Amino acid sequence: MLEKLDTIPWNELQHAYGSAADIPDNIRDLMSSDKEIRKKALSTLYSNIFHQGTRYNATPYAIPFLFELIANENTEDRHKLIYYVIHLGLGYEYSYLLEGINPSQINAELKDAHENMSEEEIQNNEDYGYSYLALLDCYNFVEDRIPILQKIIENTPKNDNHKDRKLINAAIYALSWFAEKGQESIELIKNQIPVLKHETDIANCILAIGLLSKNTKPKVDISFLEYYLDSQSLLLQTSAAISLITSPLTNQILEILIQAITSDEELKKISEIPFNEGNINGYASEILSNYTQTKKEEQKTLIALSQTIGKMNTYQAIGTTSSILTILNKNRTIPIKDTHINDLKENEIIALKAIANSKGWGVGDMIFTNFSSLMRQAGLPDSKQKLLDYLGGNDDLR
C-alpha cells in the first residue's frame, strides 16, 4: 500500500505553507496504530492542502493515496477519511445542499474560470500553488473513485456495530454529491434500506437518494420514498419531504416541513446524520424557505420560523435567520433593506423581532460576527439593539 507515494514530485508542488514535501509523511501517519498520531496527521492535512477550504496544486495528488487507505479494511478511522476526501473534491459541500452538484456545470465553470484568466493571473495563482485546473482534478479524482465507496457500502456488515455504521453512513453521504454514477448509486442505497436497523441510518439513505436524484441523468424515479411521508417517525417523514420537495409544493410536504421546523422533537442535532451536520430542522427550514411560492406558503413558513428561532442556540440561529431573510426578500418590488418600517407587514415585523430576540447575536459579550455580517448583507441593523430600535420606529438605525 502507498508504494507509489514517493514517486510524486511533492517538493515541486505547493500547499498553504509552501513546499508540499511533507505530504507523504502526513499520509503515512494516517496508518499509524497511535490514535494521536493519526489525529495530528489528519489535522495537518486539513490545514495544509485544504487550508480554510482552499485547495492547492498538491491537493489532487493526495487523493488517490487517501483512497488507497479508505479501501483498506485495516485502516482506522476510514469514515473520517471519507469526509475529508469529500472536502478535497468539492470544497465546503454545504453550499450545494439544496440542489446538489451538477457534474457538467461544475466542470464547465472551472474550465471557463481558467480560460478567462490572463497569463499574469494564471502565473500569480501558480506562484501560490493555486489553479482552477487543480480544483477540476480534485473533483474528477474523487468522482473516479466512487466505485471504491460503492464497494464499501456493499461489503460492510449491516449491524449494530458503531464503527460499521459510521463507515456506511459516510460512504452513502459521499455518493450523494457525485451524480455521474447516480443511477447505480441510488439503486445501491435503496437496496440498503430494508436491512438497516436504525432510523437515523435510514434517514441518511433517504436524504442521499433525494439529493443525488436532483442531478442524475436520465432522471431516476424516487417515488418509492413517498412511503415515508406517512411514517410514524417525524425524522423519516422530514427526510422524505426534503427529498421529494418540488415546486409547486404539495400540501403534505408543506405540512410535514412546518411540523419539523416547529416540533420540540430533537431534530436540530442528530450526530449520526452528516447532512447539514445533523441539523435536520435547519435543513427543513432552508429548503422550505427556498421552495415557497404563494403568499400563503410564505406566511405559514415565516410564522413557523419565527416561532422556532427562539429555541435555537447561537450557531443554529444563523441558519434560521437566513431562511427568514430569504422569505422576507421574496416577491418584493422593493427589497426589505429599502423598505420603511411603516411599510412592513405585521408578520414581517414579528419575524424581525424574533431575530432581534434570538441567541444568534452571540453569547454574553462575545459577538457572533457571522450573524452580524448576515444582517448587514441584508441591509438590516447589524446589532441586537439597533434592530430593536429600528423596529421601535427609528428607521435611521440601519
Contact 201, 169 (CB under 8 A): yes
Average pLDDT over residues 28-47: 98
Contact 52, 40 (CB under 8 A): no
Say what the pLDDT of residue 395 is: 55
pLDDT band of residue 131 (cuts 50, 70, 90) is confident
pLDDT above 90 covers what percent of the chain? 82
Say what the pLDDT of residue 81 is: 99
Say what the pLDDT of residue 360 is: 95
Q: Is the pLDDT of residue 206 over 90?
A: yes
The pTM of this model reads 0.93
pLDDT band of residue 176 (cuts 50, 70, 90) is very high
Distance CA 306, CA 354 (A): 6
Residue 249 DSSP class: P
Average pLDDT over residues 151-177: 96
Q: Is the pLDDT of residue 287 over 70?
A: yes
pLDDT band of residue 109 (cuts 50, 70, 90) is very high
Nine cell digits for residue 224: 418509492
Q: Is the pLDDT of residue 159 over 80?
A: yes
Say what the pLDDT of residue 366 is: 85
Say what the pLDDT of residue 332 is: 82
Q: Is the pLDDT of residue 389 over 60?
A: yes
Tell me the pLDDT tens digit for each residue of 333-344. 888 888 888 888
Average pLDDT over residues 263-270: 89
Give the Cβ contact number of residue 53 at 10 Å. Answer: 9
Cα-only R_g, the chain: 23
